[in-house]
Structure 1
């Protein structure tokens, strides 16, 4: 006591802080703390009358006050105590039902990646801390480890006040405010696209005691949160929120937070290879030897251990991988999802595992799909179509996948059925389709959903996309990889009717077996698990020797990427040849398209919705063919792996590709038949035009020129992409046999020629496409991403075109008027290029389905 008083007397008596510190209650508290006895009640006394939920972190529910308390076990010295580490994740059991907010959207069952966290107590405070695992030390020296650890920050996720404590170090905290906070960042997603500024209204939010549970290996708290617009708004609530919520000013969803016991030791990380087809997990090792990379890269994968470590083939797993399909998926879709995801067992068998190592079944009744014990294939319904995706809860220390979480969009099957209706026009005389036609459409849908289930499940096994798979020589019925995006392989029968019976192949792919072999084959030495780098290299070398390659997302972008084999939603080993074939399928289907594509009693304007995917049936194969132009064939080379070095696509292949791509600008191809236009009325009440439909400059009526401009702009964006055109200039300089940018521009300008004497709508389509070509050239000439040579060539070609338009005007008044307008646009550009504002691109609707 004298020491405390002496400290007080040394400060100015006019200090309010000093007066407060010397107050009897404060002195008593300090003395009590110094004597080692706690003024806080025990946990059992503080929680008397609450509902107790024992578990990994025991919970107590105070129903009277609507509060949830955490009983956190602590260990350490008196100055600072810590809890064990946990894996922490959060999810949305109920959500917003749209894929147009927050990246992939805000879906039912969306889950975050795992994070390592621990609780730390200092005095009356407990902090929830996420350590920094991105920067590590492999040294055994404590000082060197501290030098790394102390060089980078940690993240404190939350703070709590100790409400009670036990002699063993267990503390009780009121965790309610944290569990009523927006840890999943829903408010940020709602604010995207000027949806309004949202925040959680605590008066309309609550903990859900029925969904708040504690188990031996995990503890779960679920809250119902209501997001409201703030007092200061950016603007009116956006359409997306309005479309999915009864009242867009009160968006109520659920967020769940979960703390999970760390997995037991025994998992062996596997080194990452850029050619193996896996997502990487990495961190920096600051004590790696000089000359070696600091970045330590491993793959993400599930733990799979052999019962008999000496086993080589047909090995039994200690714990097989088991996935469960959401009971919310309707039949026959549910069974198709089970069948498709089950294909992965074929790959595990090829990697030395016994049949049944990978199995799939329907989620048991009453089971919670968010439970970390269940790898789940979840079915979600949305207001609009959107991506399906595979996510995982991963141990960030090792890359071990703890829970696979697949999300499949329910609109996928309906869009595929719509495509089948457009292709088959099955409603003769308005009647329901004959059994054969209906069965063909249904089987096409189910075949695609099997593929989709396998694809997204592959992501949760750690696999990345392989967009070069479809270029490997194969029969249409053979799967190269379910990790590619497949386009429907449609043929045309002798009767001129499209055939969709074999649109998608069945079974796991030959590349998928290679990837699983690399990631999940287990090795041992003297009965002990180990890694065999030589054996892993041999797996990849053998695959490369067979011509199998792996090229993933960044190299498969639709417009400017260079790889000639890496594409989305394509088929065929030769992209240009396949485009020629696809255009014949499109032509056959367009000839038959009309009222027979819809049922009796359906508004005729509904034909417009079916027309979009058919009219744009060629779009993704066009992307594939265009990427051969200015293309570079390459691999992810590693020194000593023997793979081919980069090489430019052969000139003859590029010329073929250009010829095929320019067919998509043909006015004859883009002109819709008059009989179809005569039966397309304006849309009636209750059937509004959406982003899935073509734009219209004619008001309520269908605009065939708008459709043609949309399709043309898709092709022109490919041909006049600055990255591609810069490569054309460079490659032509290296090898004069390679096509030049100048030749591509001139061939594009010539591509819209029509026979003399052509009349009617085709002439107007030609005019529309010609104008889009001029606009595309102006955008290229003004693009800051151009090289100097690209900009110079684009401007030179525009100068030539301006002279041609003014010196050789068209034969009639309309031609002359259009020529004059385009010449004026070009002249205005050259008057002041710096102030040129490009005309907006005509945005095309999605066309072929998204959702992979």
Structure 2
């Protein structure tokens, strides 16, 4: 009897204690996927946990950012998604993240348990159980919400040492909401620190106090009816993978699947059917016109691809309702993001880590990108403001055409598609390429009418077909998917993605960033002609009346370096490879060296980009570029130089030649040229490349003093890059020998030629002697830094560091 009384009293106390929280009059109650309660007096959120060991998705993100591309903490930035569950340990609820990288897909519970015990899991937080009634646990969620889950402090390390200041941080109730399948929380976090970096100082009112809004989402996992689709390297789909230790020994242990949205027909038997749940993307209502219409139009292109596989209106674009939160997992969002400098746009997704199903797509579009595209058009056009200052439409048309393509591109990533940098060899086969404006030259007039594409590409339809086609039960899906890719190959469509296309380390001769055409060297020749004509046309009428001439210099920057990306493309042909992501039995070419004639043609055009004739700015144009006006200081997108306040045209030529030489005389490229020549004596050899570089540089002289000054900075960059190649840690022994021979020949064959007296022979000789005596002290002498470009942050100097 006494024992029962004690138990009854304990239960009563528990009930009374429980009611002390839930029955408080000043609580604000939220009912949804998790019920929770907010107490304003203590600024706390109490969460009800009704089911232990129930898995759900936890996602952290930033609702408000810092506004610096360099720091990389943007408004609307998705963080990490984690599959988690609550487990009870004594009087504590642990938020546990299982390890999904290692699995055992089997009905054998002991085998599954062996894998779970073999690899570590992560406990994200431990919560004291405040109260318990009928196995409903109440925990104080507040300390967890106030953690730096997004890693802001770590991201700020280069700008100073920061940590959360709890006295200046609080929960944010405006977007803290509960819905049947998700709950959303926000916290305003202030990071206090000693600001040392220039970036944080440029974007915060008080750099020692940096305040952002962090968002947390608890999301119900989708049901088990989603059909996973195997990844194929030829498909253009983004993949996810894990190791399955229950796999038979004779099969691959790593399982790869694509990520995609769930999409099913209402009527699978029909050739064209509406979807049970269409994929709907919502545009940020804060996007201004005319950008708003351009983004809506560009994103909507994808519906054509879905219709081509039998889905009617399966992909839709709408405006985000005014009362909706863009971080809410129920919305796929295209968000217009502002930064202090131009920067990348990107598409990210919340993905079910079990299956690869995309739950939320989130596109972040940098708002300054369109202004750069406008300025590129402004630089290329002939006297756009000669007659009136409101002649903006031609430039605006080109900029909006680019922003339409950008919208489609970034949405494509959130649909599950990766880049295709070989698409430009098939015309405009994919919005997942990086497009350079396609311009024509007609009787010395530049035609902008077809600068960018205006629709979805053939490759985009292929990758949509592979990822989203729905097959009936009588169809062998693997054969059907192979057929889609085989048909793409038969049509001549190519697919090559990121690392293979990058100028830094990439070797593919057909896959490049920001290029056009089937033949990279022919297109470079065309781009150089466009550039030359635009420079010839350039005048004071490329800016509006009343603007300082300093703005004219800013507009001239993208024009002077207009050839930079096509130069990258053409340079990759030298020592380049032609290959595919071939699989056994698909009939694709596997790998081969680029033929010698193509390499020689490319070299001929590339060497024009280090000619004084191409790099000199006409003397009459220099009159347009006075010292910078008061209040218009140089920035990261300005010309650099070594003449103080004066414009430095010799420095501009030095920068441009350094760009080409950094690409051409790269150690990895030189090693490939050497290797190709050793396998095929008819191939282009490194000695031939170096000899032609020397002939184009030290072999040229000019009577005009200005042209000769340009030539000398080109020559200096050639010598510096040869020295770098001669001692680079990645250069092969033979490459170093050939580079050293080339350095020797500079003095022996060029500087000592009495018929061509070298005015600066002694200085070159001094540099070479110092290099010979102390090669270990050599450090590549950087040219004036090239302005940011692609769309920001391209650093060619780092391309050649030892």
TM over 0.5: yes
TM-score (norm 2): 0.95
Aligned partner (choices 264, 274, 278) of residue 320 of structure 1: 278
**2:422 aligned with 1:468:** yes
**2:456 maps to what in 1?**
508
Whole-angstrom distance in 2 between the partners of 1:117 and 1:213: 20
**1:182 maps to what in 2?**
148
Whole-angstrom distance in 2 between the partners of 1:795 and 1:753: 16
Change (3 A) 1:808 1:605: same
Whole-angstrom distance in 2 between the partners of 1:411 and 1:847: 13
**1:24 maps to what in 2?**
none
- Give, in angstroms, the shift of residue 154 of structure 1: 0.6
Change (3 A) 1:237 1:832: closer
- Give, in angstroms, the shift of residue 753 of structure 1: 6.4
**1:394 maps to what in 2?**
351
- How is 1:726-741 mapped onto 2 (pairs within 5 angstroms)? 726-741=671-686
Query: Is the CA contact (8 Å cut-off) linking 1:464 and 1:552 kept in structure 2?
Result: yes
Aligned partner (choices 66, 70, 81) of residue 43 of structure 2: 66
Query: Is the CA contact (8 Å cut-off) linking 1:412 and 1:851 kept in structure 2?
Result: no
**1:439 maps to what in 2?**
393
- How is 1:361-380 mapped onto 2 (pairs within 5 angstroms)? 361-380=318-337
Aligned partner (choices 152, 163, 174) of residue 199 of structure 1: 163
- Give, in angstroms, the shift of residue 261 of structure 1: 0.7
**2:765 maps to what in 1?**
823
- Give, in angstroms, the shift of residue 271 of structure 1: 0.2
Query: Is the CA contact (8 Å cut-off) linking 1:613 and 1:848 kept in structure 2?
Result: no
Query: Is the CA contact (8 Å cut-off) linking 1:59 and 1:68 kept in structure 2?
Result: yes
- Give, in angstroms, the shift of residue 186 of structure 1: 1.0
Tell me the matched-pair count. 788
- How is 1:469-508 mapped onto 2 (pairs within 5 angstroms)? 469-472=423-426, 474=427, 479-494=428-443, 496-508=444-456
**2:573 aligned with 1:596:** no
Change (3 A) 1:701 1:719: same
**1:330 maps to what in 2?**
288
Whole-angstrom distance in 2 between the partners of 1:427 and 1:160: 65
The structure with the largest alpha-carbon Rg is 1
Change (3 A) 1:745 1:41: farther
**1:539-596 deviations in Å (ceiling 9; x for gaps):** 0011011111110001011133110011000001111001101110000000011211
**2:188 maps to what in 1?**
224
Query: Is the CA contact (8 Å cut-off) linking 1:422 and 1:610 kept in structure 2?
Result: yes
SS in 2 for 1:407: strand
Higher mean displacement: 798-807 or 291-300: 798-807
**1:832 maps to what in 2?**
774
Query: Is the CA contact (8 Å cut-off) linking 1:810 and 1:819 kept in structure 2?
Result: no
**2:208 maps to what in 1?**
249
Whole-angstrom distance in 2 between the partners of 1:265 and 1:374: 21
Aligned partner (choices 91, 95, 110) of residue 128 of structure 1: 95
Query: Is the CA contact (8 Å cut-off) linking 1:237 and 1:249 kept in structure 2?
Result: no
Query: Is the CA contact (8 Å cut-off) linking 1:32 and 1:39 kept in structure 2?
Result: no
SS in 2 for 1:210: strand
Query: Is the CA contact (8 Å cut-off) linking 2:702 and 2:708 kept in structure 1?
Result: no
TM-score (norm 1): 0.90
Whole-angstrom distance in 2 between the partners of 1:413 and 1:819: 48
**2:557 aligned with 1:612:** yes
- Give, in angstroms, the shift of residue 422 of structure 1: 0.4
Query: Is the CA contact (8 Å cut-off) linking 2:160 and 2:196 kept in structure 1?
Result: yes
**1:522 maps to what in 2?**
470
- Give, in angstroms, the shift of residue 166 of structure 1: 1.2
**2:677 aligned with 1:720:** no
Query: Is the CA contact (8 Å cut-off) linking 1:113 and 1:392 kept in structure 2?
Result: no
- How is 1:701-780 mapped onto 2 (pairs within 5 angstroms)? 701-752=646-697, 758-780=703-725
- Give, in angstroms, the shift of residue 106 of structure 1: 1.2
**2:798 maps to what in 1?**
none
Whole-angstrom distance in 2 between the partners of 1:33 and 1:607: 85
**1:787-827 deviations in Å (ceiling 9; x for gaps):** 11111211121122243466337956xx43x3222222222
Change (3 A) 1:720 1:683: same
Query: Is the CA contact (8 Å cut-off) linking 1:99 and 1:106 kept in structure 2?
Result: yes
Whole-angstrom distance in 1 between the partners of 2:780 and 2:378: 38
- Unaligned 5+ segments in structure 2 are 795-802
**1:572-624 deviations in Å (ceiling 9; x for gaps):** 11110011011100000000112111111111011121111000000100111
SS in 2 for 1:418: helix
Query: Is the CA contact (8 Å cut-off) linking 1:98 and 1:106 kept in structure 2?
Result: yes
Higher mean displacement: 681-690 or 745-754: 745-754
Whole-angstrom distance in 2 between the partners of 1:34 and 1:772: 88
**2:800 maps to what in 1?**
none
Query: Is the CA contact (8 Å cut-off) linking 2:698 and 2:750 kept in structure 1?
Result: no
- Unaligned 5+ segments in structure 1 are 1-27, 75-81
**1:463-482 deviations in Å (ceiling 9; x for gaps):** 0000000012x3xxxx3100
- Give, in angstroms, the shift of residue 33 of structure 1: 12
Whole-angstrom distance in 1 between the partners of 2:215 and 2:755: 67
Whole-angstrom distance in 1 between the partners of 2:343 and 2:635: 14
**1:14 maps to what in 2?**
none
Whole-angstrom distance in 2 between the partners of 1:513 and 1:324: 22
- How is 1:598-677 mapped onto 2 (pairs within 5 angstroms)? 598-677=543-622
**1:21 maps to what in 2?**
none
